[in-house]
Amino acid sequence: MKRLFGAAVLLATCLGAFGAAVAADDDRRRYVKTPTGFLMVLRRGDDVFAEVTKLAEREKFGGASLTGIGFLETATFGFYDFEKKAFDPRTFSKVEMASLTGSIAWQSGKPSIHAHAAVSDATFATYGGHALALTVGTGSAEITVTVHSERLEREVDPEIGANVLQLR
């Protein structure tokens, strides 16, 4: 009985270590290096911007452009109100992302993503604008990150109160 218990503990320990290794490996497998940058394949429940931010932090590239397509559980867009200097958000559920385009720069030492997208629902009604949040739904989202040779920085333009890409 003691030997059986010891074997069970050893098996549980090995499976726990294997599970942790798979989880860590799974995180790395969200993207692969390409000749021009990276290809990401995100799965259900993934926060697109959080995953792109982790990629930028891990790979430490200076700036990039991004494009993408895929299925989303939710997409939140914002229309910027220049008088209020704030976004007026609206969320859409169970949509297909027909297009995502944007840039990745750095602001205050952290990645700063500026992206716009277009999505459509089951009736083919289409919505789009400044993407505030995107969560992957059933299926996947494919994101291509094209890395630039120059470091890109973003700063708040005091006149309009919005982040603006700076070319130095």
Q: What is the CATH number of domain 35-166?
A: 3.30.1330.80
**In contact, 72 and 99? CB cutoff 8 Å:** no
Residues 55/57/61/66 CA torsion (nearest 10 deg) = 40
Q: Find, among 78, 87, 60, the residue nearest to 116 by Cα.
A: 78
Q: What share of the chain is helix, strand, coil (3-state, %, to 5)?
A: 25, 55, 20
AA identity, residue 108: S
Instruction: Return per-residue pLDDT of the chain as tens, 168 residues.
Output: 455 444 444 434 444 443 433 344 455 479 999 999 999 999 999 999 999 999 999 999 999 999 999 999 999 999 999 888 889 999 999 999 999 999 999 999 999 999 999 999 999 999 999 999 999 999 999 999 999 999 999 999 888 888 899 987
Distance CA 53, CA 59 (A): 10
Specify the 3-state DSSP secondary structure of 148.
coil
pTM, to two decimals: 0.81
pLDDT computed for residue 26 by the predictor: 53
